[in-house]
Structure formats: structure tokens, C-alpha cells
Structure 1
Amino acid sequence: MKSELASNRAKERALEAYLLSSAKLGNERAMAQLVRLLSPVMMRHATRLTGDTEQAKDMVQAAWADIFRSLDTVKNPEAIRAFALQIVTRKVAAVIRAKQKERSLKTALTDEHQDVGQPLGEIAADAYSVRKAINQLSKDHQAILALFYLEDMTTSEVAAALNIPVGTVKTRLMHARSNLRAILEGSNHGKN
């Protein structure tokens, strides 16, 4: 299954590279396909960083304008996904810096204030605990975990997407795992 995932990811990278090369030549259909292919990934990333779907849509739209203006600067066509995520990261960072004084950071999910309505199964309860624990991590750690595990990106792709060194990605990933483990073990001690 892991080799199938790797094969699918290699095919995606090849398609992205082809579409980027075609878009650089002015092919509007290739541009439109690139938008359809990468927008969901960009949207998930922006939503994780902002915690706000509407704001994330604005960030992705603004990112596409920047991406199309700077297509020629992408040296490695297979890196278009990381390049796009890097642009989104910069857009979100700019908005957060601008609004930092007027808004307090809040978690992406406020599950503790919602009524579940029906008993959760054991797997759903575990998923809920993990989601809740992840939301207690810093935005940097949330982004690192999401890109590495949910988007199946390599550490070098995560580094490019977040515009940080690979060593920093590895360090943050290690700390994010450690912090997540500590949070989950702390919540499990309370149950026993």
C-alpha cells in the first residue's frame, strides 16, 4: 500500500510538473487544471493556519494571483506544490501579523463547547482526543504535522512550503510529536 501511495504521489508530481511547464508557455487550460489540482491542498493548508474557511478562501485566491505572476521563477517544476503552499503560508503570515494586535489566537475546533448528541465509539473518541490535542499545539506544530502526515509531504517539501530550513522542519516535527504525546498521555492519566 505504501508503494502504491508513493507511485500515486510520483504520478501527481509528474502531472503537476507537466501542467506547470504548459502554464509557463501560456496554456490557459493547463493553468485551470493546475488550479483545480492544487487548490484543495492549498485550501486545507490555509484553513489549518487561519482556522477560518472564508479567510482561507481569500488567501488561496490571493496566492493564485501571486503564483501566476511568478510562474517563471519556479526552477523545479515538480516543486510547484511546495511553491504554492509557500505562497499561501506567506499570505496567511501577513494577515496574522496585520491582525495580531486586534485578535487573540483561537483553536481551529471548539469541540469542548459543542454537544455531541450521541455516544462516540471508541475509534471516534480516540480521533476526537487526537484532534483536541493537536489543537492545543502551536500553529507551527499543527502546520508541520498536517503537511507531513496529512498531505504526505517530505521534510524538504514541508521546508519549501513553510519557507524554513529542512533542519527546522525535522526539529519542529520532533517537538510536535513529543508535545502531542505529552498532551495525550496527560489526558489518559486523567481517565485512569
Structure 2
Amino acid sequence: MDEIAKLIEPQIPALRRYAYALVRDHDAADDLVQDCLERAVSRWYLRRDDGHLRAWLFTMLRNLYINSYHRQKRRGTRVRLDESIMPSVAPNQTDQLEMNDVLSALERLPEDHKSILLLIGVEDLSYEETARVLSVPVGTVMSRLSRARQGLRALLSGSRVTPLRRVK
């Protein structure tokens, strides 16, 4: 068990960052990471020795997020009664506003584009590692990343992206 902990512990900060970027709620992100770690430890025997631990953990976290996302969609919008009130003036409002714009635009992207941007842009996974996490070919990762960046740029600039038409 100590060996498992030594391998998993260094991955926790990256898992927490990725989980927070997905759910945008610290408590929900911590719960998601805990569920992921619990599942990883209980299914450690399923892990391939030649496999990449980081990719395995990120795949597990993403799958748990998708399952909870679908479950939440079936249940409807959650309203928190104990939300704290944000101060009326933040220390640096423009940075906060820009960050809120980026996070809001990221939320409006399709889930596969959002995951690609977070894994490559935030967690600094390679295309190959991202392909393993998402179970898609590397070429698909590159094309989705390009479309995701284009979509994010369009959302941030306020313009609409015209979908490409097929030409016969």
C-alpha cells in the first residue's frame, strides 16, 4: 500500500487542477479526485505495469466526471443555499473579469474540446498522453485541439464560427 501511495501522491495536485477546471467548484473537485483515487486504489490490480500511471488516473478522473455530468443533467440544475457573497471590489478586477470570460467560454465549448484544452493547455500532457486519456488517435487529438482553440478564440472575441460545409 505504501508503494501505491508513493506513486499516486505526486499526481494529486495535477488531478485537483484538472478536476477544478472541469467542475469549477473546489468541493466538487475534491470529491471527484477522492472518488478517482479511491477507484484507482481499489482497482490497482487492473493497472498494466507497462501503462502510464498519469494517463490512467486522468482517464479515470475524466470518466468519473462524465458520469457525474450525465447524472447531474438528468437531475437538473443545482442551487447552493450557502454560497458566499463575493466582495464588491476585487484586488485586480480586469484580470478577474478576463479569467471569468475565459472560464465562461470554456464552459460553452463541447465537452471533448474542453477536455483537450485542459489536458494539453493546463496539465501539459503530450498529444500521445492525451490520446491515451481520451482513447482516440493522436491525429484526432490534434484536429480537436485546433477546433477547440478556434472555438475558444471565437467565443472570446464575440464572433461566431461558421461551420465548414462539405463540397462535393
Q: TM-score range by the shorter chain?
A: 0.7 to 0.9
Provide closer, same or farther for how the CA distance between residues 75 and 118 of structure 1 changes in structure 2, counting only shifts above 3 A: closer
Deviation by residue 1:55-97 (Cα, 9 ceiling, x = unmatched): 32222222223323234532435x1101100011111222222
Aligned equivalents of 2:98, 2:66: Cα separation in 1: 31
1:44 aligns with 2:20: no
1:186 aligns with 2:158: yes
State the one-letter code of the partner of 1:167: G
State the one-letter code of the partner of 2:112: D
Q: Higher helix fraction: Structure 1 or Structure 2?
A: 1
Deviation, 1:101, is: 1.4
1:60 aligns with 2:25: no
Partner of residue 98, structure 1: 71
SS in 1 for 2:158: helix
SS in 1 for 2:124: coil
2:5 aligned to which of 22, 27, 32 = 32
1:134 aligns with 2:86: no
- Kindly indicate whether the alpha-carbon contact (under 8 Å) linking 1:74 and 1:83 is maintained by their aligned counterparts in 2: no
Q: Which moved more, 1:51-60 or 1:40-49?
A: 51-60
Deviation, 1:163, is: 3.0
Structure 2 runs not aligned, ≥5 long: 79-84, 160-168
Deviation, 1:143, is: 1.9
Q: Aligned pair count?
A: 153
Aligned equivalents of 2:22, 2:104: Cα separation in 1: 16
Q: TM-score, normalization: structure 1?
A: 0.64
- Kindly indicate whether the alpha-carbon contact (under 8 Å) linking 1:46 and 1:88 is maintained by their aligned counterparts in 2: yes
Aligned CA RMSD, in angstroms, stands at 3.0
Q: Which moved more, 1:128-137 or 1:81-90?
A: 128-137
Deviation, 1:32, is: 2.1
Aligned equivalents of 2:27, 2:95: Cα separation in 1: 30
1:172 aligns with 2:150: no
